[in-house]
Amino acid sequence: MTIQTGDRVPNVNLVKATAEGPQPVSSDEFFAGRRVALFSVPGAFTPTCSARHLPGFVERADELKAKGVDEIACTAVNDAFVLQAWKESAGAEGKVTMLADGNGELAQALGLTMDGSKFGLGQRGQRWSAIVDDGVIESLNVEEPGAFAVSSADYLIERL
């Protein structure tokens, strides 16, 4: 079952990519007591994710924060080392926190997985964005397969 607006984010273990290296974090701890703009990409360094999705959140980070967002986070079924390298290459340091869902536990718990096997990607998380307020999904925007319309930073800002 796919998570819905008003549901609590399930508690799973993630890995926060930092300059000091991977740091384990539970989703309960990460989302507690703050409002987070969270977005999911099928994979770091993939075309739409690198050319449009992450750059939009980097470019509009200040606007999101001005609208009451405490932190911007990206999740992907990638390891923390890949997400850290992607963050550095995209100039996202200090703007977007990378949350590695290396085993796909968050994507599975949310019911937002996709099968990228025909592209050699295996099971991944779908492309989506959400506003999470103290661990509860305030808004959720899930893309249709192959689309990039409702999960962008622009779309979130227009609705805040």
Q: Which of 44, 49, 69, 99 is catalytic?
A: 49
49 is catalytic: yes
C-alpha 94/C-alpha 27 separation (Å) is 20
Structure-token match 């990409």, residue found: 41
| CA atoms lying within 13 Å on the CB side of residue 37 | 28
In the chain, % helix, strand, coil (3-state, to 5) comes to: 30, 30, 40
DSSP characters for 40-101? E-S-TT-HHIIIIIHHHHHHTHHHHHHTT-SEEEEEESS-HHHHHHHHHHHT-TTT-EEEE-
Exposed / middle / buried, residue 80 (Cβ in 10 Å: 0-12, 13-18, 19+) = buried
**Residues with catalytic function:** 49
